[in-house]
Amino acid sequence: MNMLLGEGWQVKPAGGATGEAYIAEQGEQKLFLKRNSSPFLAVLSAEGIVPKLLWTKRLENGDVITAQRWIHGRELKAFEMKEGHVAQLLAKIHHSVELLDMFKRIGNEPLTPKIIIEDLQNSLKRNLFEEEDTVVERAMQYLEAYCDQVSQEHYVVCHCDINHNNWIISKNGDLYLIDWDGATVADPALDIGLLLYSYIPESEWEKWLSNYGLEMNENLRLRMHWYVVSQTISVMLWHIEREQTEEVNTWRDYLHSLIL
């Protein structure tokens, strides 16, 4: 990594699950480096969704290193997710034709409700419970029962991990959404539902959606709930695979509250 930058640069890991991100510093200069980042980073940068992409370099082994401008700022707090600029940036992402075109060009097929159910069924088979899990069984029955009602033709680029830690606000007030490794083409209700259920009191949903540019209706409410149920099962299975019993029980209790 140091060979790319020249003399005088100090490079250290930036943390994160993949271990492929780095911080490079030389004097007052600071860069965010990443190995094999999202192929659509240039589009995200051009639209101001992520910090500015400065350069891209390919290594002899085929790896691609990207450098982005370092943002002097902070992660959003959970309570700040209700603010209007969060809704507006998510709407900008969901309405980006350029971003959607890029995803389609690299062969990204829409994540439909039927595909989600199939993926969950396959994961459940790999993670057989010693005892029948009635909560998961009822949740899967719910997903199957409403699959056709939540299916639609309008798909957008969804981030799929709208945790407040992925929202960065600069000292100048510019807002960015980072960590696009799990993004896919899907129903915008996937992102919206996860955000509203996680951060916004239901009494404030209509206000938040107004900032996004949508009106609440029964179809949107159903789709959001459907995707939250499916994602909750997915997260629960992720913890089961890692034998994290306490987290599994926490997510099972939440799943139970969703399908009462």
In order of start, what are the domains of the chain with their CATH numbers?
Answer: 2-70 (3.30.200), 76-258 (3.90.1200.10)
Return the pLDDT at 3.
59
Cβ-Cβ contacts under 8 Å for 158 (sequence gap 6 or more): 94, 111, 183, 184, 185, 186, 187, 188, 190, 191
Is the Cβ–Cβ distance between 228 and 194 less than 8 Å? yes
Mean pLDDT over 48-75 rounds to 90
Per-residue pLDDT, 20: 82
pLDDT at 113: 98
Helices (H), the chain: 2-5, 41-46, 84-94, 97-105, 113-126, 134-145, 147-150, 188-199, 205-212, 218-241, 245-258
Dihedral sign for Cα atoms in the order 122, 239, 194, 172: negative
Q: Kindly tell me if the per-residue pLDDT of 157 is higher than 80.
A: yes
Could you say which DSSP state residue 18 is in?
Answer: S
Q: Which of 63, 133, 161, 179 is catalytic?
A: 161
Q: Is the pLDDT of residue 252 over 70?
A: yes
Q: pLDDT by residue (tens digit) across 198-221?
A: 999 999 999 999 999 999 999 999
Which of 121, 129, 112, 148 has its CA nearest to residue 252?
Answer: 129
Orientation angle between helical segments 188-199 and 84-94, nearest 10 degrees = 160
Hey, what are 48's tokens? 């101001």
pLDDT of residue 249: 94
161 among known catalytic residues: yes
32 contacts 48 by C-beta, under 8 angstroms: no
Two tokens, residue 101 = 């075109």
Q: How far apart are CA 137 and CA 88, in angstroms?
A: 37
Residue 130 has pLDDT above 50, yes or no: no
Q: Would you state the structure tokens that stand for residue 13, as one six-digit string?
A: 């890991």
Residue 37: predicted pLDDT? 80
CA distance 220 to 214: 9
| Average pLDDT value for residue range 50-68 | 89
What is the predicted pLDDT for the residue at 8?
A: 77
The continuous run of DSSP H or E covering 21 comes out as strand 21-26
| Averaged pLDDT of the chain | 91
Query: What's the pLDDT score for residue 236?
Result: 94
As a residue count, the chain comes to 260
> Please, which residues bridge with residue 10 across strands?
25
Higher confidence at residue 5 or residue 136? 136
Q: Which residue has the tokens 């790896």?
A: 63
Q: 76 or 28: which carries more pLDDT confidence?
A: 76
**Between these two residues, 72 and 197, which has the higher pLDDT value?**
197
Asked whether the predicted pLDDT for residue 129 surpasses 60, the reply is: no
